[in-house]
Structure 1
Amino acid sequence: MSASKDVLALASLEVDLSSIEPGTTVTVKWRGKPVFIRRRTDDDIKLANSVDVASLRHPEQDAERVKNPEWLVVIGVCTHLGCIPLPNAGDFGGWFCPCHGSHYDISGRIRKGPAPFNLEVPTYSFLEENKLLIG
């Protein structure tokens, strides 16, 4: 038995990126969860690549977390206890979880606080230069 069209439609989400300005984050809902899409500036990208990965709790290079350096796509759920972090907040220019104080950097990597892992990167692809498919 195959899935119905409405079930398949929930499995993926197409997002138009053309109106997202550099340096801003938008939140979309996918599978009942928030997904943060950040259009990063050149400074954001340089900052993300300047981090000593060996110093990270959950070591991942920025390049492992993005398909295009300009765009970061992460599930907006704190890996500690599932709260929703605030964008453009915290000590590392990324996200801050107000529930228990986890700080994520501009690549969504955990830098400080109780969260054990980086923000999760969902399956996604670029359909066109300004069209993203999540799921």
Structure 2
Amino acid sequence: MTTSDMSDDGEPTRRDFIHIFGAATAAAGAGAVLWPLVHQMNPDASVLALSTKEVDLSAVPEGQAIKVMWQGKPVFIRHRTPAEIEEAKSVAIAQLKDPVARNANLSGTEEATDENIVTGASGEAHEPWLILVGVCTHLGCIPLGTSAGESRGDFGGWFCPCHGSHYDLAGRIRKGPAPENLLVPPYQFVTDTVVKIG
């Protein structure tokens, strides 16, 4: 401020107050106009509802699997038997085509051990429950092996008949053209029998 903008006692004048008040009012008005424009760019409620999905697993018997949809993609949830868990644990990393777990709940560099694949967002492994995005990593087909009686390929997990990719009981690619293991989506157990995906 210059000395002409101040009164004789060094205080701001009435004109200064009017300018400050006018600028503050204009800023508030601009905010009131811009807020709805910015807010309309947020995802709508139906999109937010699809970002997560809760699944009750209490009705899935041991040895069976279900398929649910999450964000437009199938997710396979398998309730593995103790024998299936032991078989998945017995596979050496050196035998795997893709040695990385591909688990969104981990940092992304962990080895494809069974424990790393069944670890959720809490960092706790839930051995009986295998949760995978059901999209073949070769060309995006949906592998078979969710329903009882379906062919599960050479390794007891999933089989993609389109190009012959075989996945084991931990969703790891073992044979065929697929370059990577099936992806593990972000998930956490809300209770012992309810899992939230996303």
Letter in 2 for 1:25: A
Aligned residue among 57, 66, 73 for 1:26: 66
Task: Please tell me the root mean square deviation across aligned C-alpha atoms, in Å.
Answer: 1.0
The answer to whether residue 102 in structure 2 is matched with residue 62 in structure 1 is no
Deviation at 1:134, TM superposition (A): 0.4
Tell which has more relative contact order, 1 or 2 (C-alpha 8 A, sep 6+): 1
**Structure 2: runs of 5+ lacking an equivalent:** 1-38, 100-111, 120-125, 146-150
Percent of matched pairs sharing the same residue: 56
Deviation by residue 1:35-63 (Cα, 9 ceiling, x = unmatched)? 00000000010000000111211111011
Tell me how far apart the structure 1 counterparts of residues 53 and 142 of structure 2 sit (CA, whole Å).
20
Of Structure 1 and Structure 2, the greater helix share is in: 2
Equivalent residues, number:
135
Task: Describe how 1:26-105 pairs up with structure 2 within 5 A.
Answer: 26-59=66-99, 60-67=112-119, 68-87=126-145, 89-105=152-168
**TM-score of the superposed pair, with normalisation by structure 2:** 0.66
Deviation by residue 1:11-57 (Cα, 9 ceiling, x = unmatched)? 00000000000000100011111100000000010000000111211
Of Structure 1 and Structure 2, the greater strand share is in: 1
Tell me how far apart the structure 2 counterparts of residues 92 and 55 of structure 1 sit (CA, whole Å).
12
The answer to whether residue 188 in structure 2 is matched with residue 128 in structure 1 is no
Query: Greater CA radius of gyration, 1 or 2?
Result: 2
**Structure 1: runs of 5+ lacking an equivalent:** none
Tell me how far apart the structure 1 counterparts of residues 44 and 188 of structure 2 sit (CA, whole Å).
23
Q: Which runs of 4+ in 1 moved over 4 A?
A: none
Letter in 1 for 2:161: P
